[in-house]
């Protein structure tokens, strides 16, 4: 097991890789140092470029803590598709600067992305900003098909009150979201199911208000509100 730390030299990303085949990043600790660093160059702990169609990048069994901005950033191929898999990771405290994401794609084409069986915890500690934990966003000219966010446990406690108290008391904006930016971006076939979410520190647990098409929520397994034990809406 490796341990990577961003501070004290504050040179990011700690892993910057070009992926042309099947690559696994596993059993590591990534300590971002919280608010110890100033403006970062990449704004991410892991930054990858999946250049080849059919390539698979798996990020699993890692511990991300005190992450200043993004945890995992990925870029896909311009033709064909690549597959990112993010599973069995622990994300603990994120968001001291910039526009923090737990998972972010920017450019290129992805099919069958999996964000599954992760644990994500974030609070409203002093100096932190609201984060976007598991948002699947087609941006920077990209096409995303059949992405799945499933069986994650997301504890984002606070007193956001559905956004009426924003930013005070808000640890995140939306815990899970499907997004399709304007222009030549597409995001279709997204599915979110089997997730357990404490969204008291969020505007909402889930969001489908950003242009995605053919999405499904809560099927075949309901997404669960951890505060009430009730199933979350199937049309957020």
Q: What is the pLDDT of residues 55-114, one digit of tens each?
A: 999 999 999 999 999 999 999 999 999 999 999 999 999 999 888 999 999 999 999 999
How far is the C-alpha of 48 from the C-alpha of 51, rounded, in Å?
9
Are the C-beta atoms of 118 and 88 separated by less than 8 Å? yes
| Contact criterion met (CB below 8 Å) for 150 and 182 | no
Comparing 1 with 49, which gets the higher pLDDT?
A: 49
- Going by pLDDT thresholds of 50, 70 and 90, the confidence category of residue 168 is confident
Q: What pLDDT is recorded for position 130?
A: 80
Per-residue pLDDT at 121? 97
- Residue count (the chain): 236
pLDDT the model gives residue 118: 98
For residue 163, what pLDDT is reported? 85
- CA of residue 218 relative to chain centroid, distance: 19
String of DSSP letters for 151-173? S-EEE--S--GGGTT-STT-SBS
* Rounded-to-integer distance, Cα 28 and Cα 14, Å: 11
pLDDT score of 86: 98
Average pLDDT over residues 177-181: 97
Predicted local confidence at residue 1, as pLDDT: 80
99, 125, 134, 202 from 131: Cα distances, Å:
7, 12, 9, 9
CA separation (Å) from 14 to 6, 47, 56?
Answer: 7, 8, 20
Per-residue pLDDT tens over the stretch 118-158: 999 999 876 677 899 999 999 999 999 999 999 999 999 99
Q: In this predicted structure, what is the pLDDT of residue 125?
A: 72
Q: Please give the pLDDT value at position 24.
A: 96
Provide the pLDDT for residue 124. Answer: 81
Span 6-25, average pLDDT: 92
At 98 the pLDDT is 86
């Amino acid at each position: 097991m490796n341990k990577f730390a961003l501070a004290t030299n504050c040179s990011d990303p700690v892993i910057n890789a070009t992926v042309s085949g099947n690559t696994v990043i596993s059993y590591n600790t990534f300590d971002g140092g919280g608010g110890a660093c100033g403006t970062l160059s990449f704004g991410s702990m892991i930054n990858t470029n999946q250049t080849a169609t059919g390539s698979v990048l798996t990020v699993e069994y890692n511990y991300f803590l005190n992450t200043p901005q993004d945890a995992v950033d990925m870029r896909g191929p311009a033709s064909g598709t690549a597959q990112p898999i993010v599973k069995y990771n622990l994300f603990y405290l994120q968001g001291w600067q910039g526009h923090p994401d737990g998972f972010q794609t920017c450019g290129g084409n992805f099919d069958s992305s999996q964000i599954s069986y992760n644990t994500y915890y974030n609070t409203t500690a002093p100096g932190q900003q609201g984060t976007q934990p598991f948002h699947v966003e087609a941006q920077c000219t990209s096409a995303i098909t059949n992405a799945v966010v499933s069986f994650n446990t997301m504890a984002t406690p606070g007193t956001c009150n559905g956004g009426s108290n924003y930013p005070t008391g808000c640890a995140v904006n939306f815990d899970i979201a499907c997004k399709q930016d304007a222009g030549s971006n597409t995001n279709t076939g997204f599915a979110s199911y089997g997730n357990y979410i404490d969204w008291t520190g969020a505007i909402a647990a889930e969001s489908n208000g950003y242009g995605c098409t053919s999405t499904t929520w809560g099927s075949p397994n309901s997404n669960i509100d951890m505060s009430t034990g009730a199933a979350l809406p199937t049309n957020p």
